[in-house]
Amino acid sequence: MVEALIESEQVCINVCNGAHEAEARAVLNGLRMERVTFYRIPTNEPWCRDHGPIFLTRNANADPRLAIVDWDYNAWGGKYPPCDLDEVVPTRAAQFLHAPVFYPRMILEGGSIEVNGAGALLTTESCLLNPNRNPSLGRAEIEQRLRDYFGVREILWLAEGIDGDDTDGHIDDLARFVSENTVVTVVEVNREDRNYEPLQENLARLRQMKVEQGDIKIVTLPMPKKIVREGQRLPASYANFYIANSCVLLPTFADPNDETALSALQKLFLDRRVIGIDCRELIWGLGTFHCLTQQQPAV
């Protein structure tokens, strides 16, 4: 993953301490290390998308500004304590970057929201409305905080996530904006699979949605075959890709549908190379490339 990304952008990696950094450098030996920056910000988990800083930009009087939103974090509804280190990562990152921080006082993971960059935000009811996140907040209050702290205007709700997803249904395993009015969404063709009905429901909802730019154009991706390890279904999904400056990292699973997903995305990203990387080991941690990363805008 890092080898592909350093050709596209600077890569920032959080490490616990000097020994951890040395271990990471040994793993990355032979790569262009001038393209890699280490930050000594200890974490409980590696899933930077969910606990890490979510960046905001604004251009006030031709003076670009970068800020960070630090949402509260409880390890996906209290599933994996402790999470005290992860909970403070955004503010710690802001200290390194000398960026202001906003505190919405609401639990939210980065993988639970997807934006089009033009005022629309896509999410799921099964995650954001789950009582294990913000039991004292209703849908209207949650929507208002999303508008207040992300600058979005439209909140678009899908229903449930995929089988095996321990996040209660993160959107980044389901549907992703690839332009202001184009959404890529995964579908399951096997009617016997537990993902068939939920993904059909989400597809039906998408077909009824509009954004300010008009109707949403929908492109479908297949799902890989069911992956089970030690009796546990793993949340393998081609929707968990990461969009970099000059490439797109696509998780693959040694599956016949790998090539179908790669070809479909390449048609959507004509200005980027879509790179498939085997994630059969990474998905054992219940996430892949989008879960592991968080983009930082250039200012």
Any idea which residues carry the catalytic annotation?
Answer: 291
DSSP secondary structure letter of residue 117: S
Taking alpha carbons only, the member of 186, 189, 141, 181 closest to residue 161 is 186
Long-range CB contact pairs, 255-259, < 8 A, 24+: 255/224, 255/225, 256/225, 257/222, 257/223, 257/224, 257/225, 258/224
6 closest CA partner among 247, 267, 268, 292: 247
Q: H helices within 79-195, ranges in order?
A: 84-87, 89-97, 125-128, 139-150
For 61-96, b where at least 16 C-beta lie within 10 A, e where not — what string? eeeeebbbbbbebbbbbeeeeebebbbbbbebbbee
Of the CA atoms within 13 Å of residue 53, those in its CB half-sphere come to 27
Which parts of 84-164 fold into alpha helices (H)? Answer: 84-87, 89-97, 125-128, 139-150
Residue 277, C-beta contacts closer than 8 angstroms, at least 6 positions apart: 1, 4, 249, 250, 251, 252, 289
Amino acid at 141: E
Helix then strand then coil, in percent of the chain rounded to 5, is 30, 25, 40
Q: Give the number of other CB atoms < 10 A from CB of residue 58.
A: 11
